[in-house]
Amino acid sequence: MQQVIGSPSRLRGAISLPGDKSISQRAFLLNAIAEGPAHVSNPCVGDDRESILRCLQGLGVSIVPCSRCAVGRTGEECFEIRGRGLNGLEEPADVLDSGNSGTTMRLLAGLLSGQPFLSVLSGDSSLRSRPMDRVVQPLVEMGARIMGRGGDSRAPLAIRGGDLRGISYTLPVASAQVKSCLLIAGLYAAGSSTILQPAASRDHTERLLRAMGADLQEDGLALTISPSSLAPVDVRVPGDISSSAFWLVAACCHPDAEVRIEGVGVNPTRAGVLEVLRSMGAEVRLENVREEGDEPVADIVAQSSELVGTEVAGDIVPQVIDELPVLAVAASVARGTTVIRDAAELRVKESDRIRSTVNGLTALGAIVEERPDGMVVQGVSNLTSGRTASDGDHRIAMAMAVAGLISRGDTVVSGAEAAGVSYPGFWDVLESISESGDRPAVLEAT
């Protein structure tokens, strides 16, 4: 699908987001091995959700829509997950298809390594090209038998689990997926497992495990988990801050904009996008900050701002990793230079996001230099019309749409359907906040 994005003269509106993808996936997976039923309301939407639900159902877990329950708000979507306990999963009859979802594959690899049966994990061509040795190697060290393509580094992965032993493991990259994979495997291992993180990454797994009564100790960046059964926990998922980033950048970069985004999860290990935007001089404020379940939540108001360049490097990178493509869009129209470093991980996401972002922005007249671990962006006063491509990556499709929204002229985003992986309603929101008059936001979808 190709979308042609115009240049609306004003952006206004209140936006409710789909539920946070990382929290939803963890809430589904951990409740699937809890000792009883639980509800997850306002879950994420899109293809990645279907991927994890399909895989858990393939392991014999019943997950059904629940129309009348008190966990979520009236009218909100909700699922009931019937937890089967740590040892109640069934050997899958077929390959478990993780689709495009790296979180599904890596967290499941940890879970399946604890099961005394054979599972095969696969995914789409993007996921099959992404590195899995980062989970395979420590899981094999714990005693799992895993084979995969490329010297056991790429999916499909065949996993025969069971009889795990605890390990002490230093993560080579600050990855929440790898950390979570090993914490889940640690629930099944004899003895305790300690995971040392080089920097803090999103901590949703830790929050949920604690809420479910797991024996999890934290000492700075070291996490130690011991085998524990899990109590089911109802979760009302807050709005996804990664999805909010597109509207925050659109509002801050547009000359006549104010948007309000309601009920966004602002967990400090995820809120790096707010910190980076503020360092660029963005007019972004939090209102109605509250705690919902085990996660901090707020409404965010963003408006037209005079942005300046910044540096994004070091420990903040894992906390803003998924937002870097759209932050590069903001940098492309900020005054001065923005340097993004220490972000080589972007090269092994759903696409090579350094290459995809640089190509897309360059096509729209931005001045961007590709670096092995990031990029250098020189702000220009305006982006121009041009043709961009999603490279099959949901966040690139949406980042390019935002670039189109703030550019002068019409922007083509090809492969725009990729947005459906995490945010199927993205294009409707884009239209709804555009007070178009003579220049509508979405000109054509083919």
Q: Could you list the active site residues?
A: 322
Following DSSP, what letter does each residue of 133-179 receive, concatenated?
A: HHHHHHHHHTT-EEEEHHHHTEEEEEEE----B--EEE-SS--HHHH
Q: What is the DSSP letter of 421?
A: G
Contact 198, 220 (CB under 8 A): no
In the block, tokens 């992404």 appear at 130
Q: Which is nearer to ligand S3P, 22 or 303 (CB)?
A: 22
Following DSSP, what letter does each residue of 200-239 receive, concatenated?
A: ----HHHHHHHHTT-EEEEETTEEEEE---B----EEPPB
Q: In the bound complex, what is the minimum distance in angstroms from residue 135's beta carbon to ligand S3P?
A: 10
Give the sheet arrangement for strand 374-378, strand by strand: 311-312, 337-340, 374-378, 367-371
* Residues within the interface to ligand S3P (CB under 6 A): 22, 103, 175-177, 180, 201-202, 321-322, 345
End-to-end alpha-carbon separation of the chain, Å?
Answer: 6
Q: Which is nearer to ligand S3P, 194 or 269 (CB)?
A: 269
Q: Which is nearer to ligand S3P, 345 or 370 (CB)?
A: 345
Q: Which is nearer to ligand S3P, 175 or 244 (CB)?
A: 175
Going from the C-alpha of 144 to that of each of 105, 175, 390, 400, 438, the distances in angstroms are 16, 20, 37, 41, 61
Q: Which is nearer to ligand S3P, 225 or 364 (CB)?
A: 225
The span from the CA of 159 to the CA of 162, in Å, is: 10
Q: In the bound complex, what is the minimum distance in angstroms from residue 161's beta carbon to ligand S3P?
A: 21
Q: Which is nearer to ligand S3P, 27 or 302 (CB)?
A: 27
Q: Which is nearer to ligand S3P, 51 or 180 (CB)?
A: 180
Strands 235-236 and 37-41: parallel
Contact 197, 182 (CB under 8 A): no
Q: Which is nearer to ligand S3P, 105 or 363 (CB)?
A: 105
- The residues pairing with 121 across neighbouring beta strands, listed in sequence order, are 96, 157
Tell me the residue length of the chain: 446
Q: In the bound complex, what is the minimum distance in angstroms from residue 52's beta carbon to ligand S3P?
A: 11
The span from the CA of 387 to the CA of 371, in Å, is: 23
Q: In the bound complex, what is the minimum distance in angstroms from residue 188's beta carbon to ligand S3P?
A: 19
Q: In the bound complex, what is the minimum distance in angstroms from residue 22's beta carbon to ligand S3P?
A: 3
Q: In the bound complex, what is the minimum distance in angstroms from residue 204's beta carbon to ligand S3P?
A: 7
Which residues have CB under 8 Å from 368's CB, separation 6+? 328, 332, 357, 358, 361, 362, 375, 376, 377, 378
Contact 143, 172 (CB under 8 A): no
Q: In the bound complex, what is the minimum distance in angstroms from residue 383's beta carbon to ligand S3P?
A: 26
Can you state the percent helix, strand and coil of the chain, rounding each to 5?
A: 35, 30, 35
What 91-94 contacts at long range (C-beta under 8 Å, 24+ apart), as own/partner pairs, is 91/115, 91/117, 91/118, 91/119, 92/58, 92/59, 92/119, 92/120, 93/58, 94/58
Q: In the bound complex, what is the minimum distance in angstroms from residue 409's beta carbon to ligand S3P?
A: 31
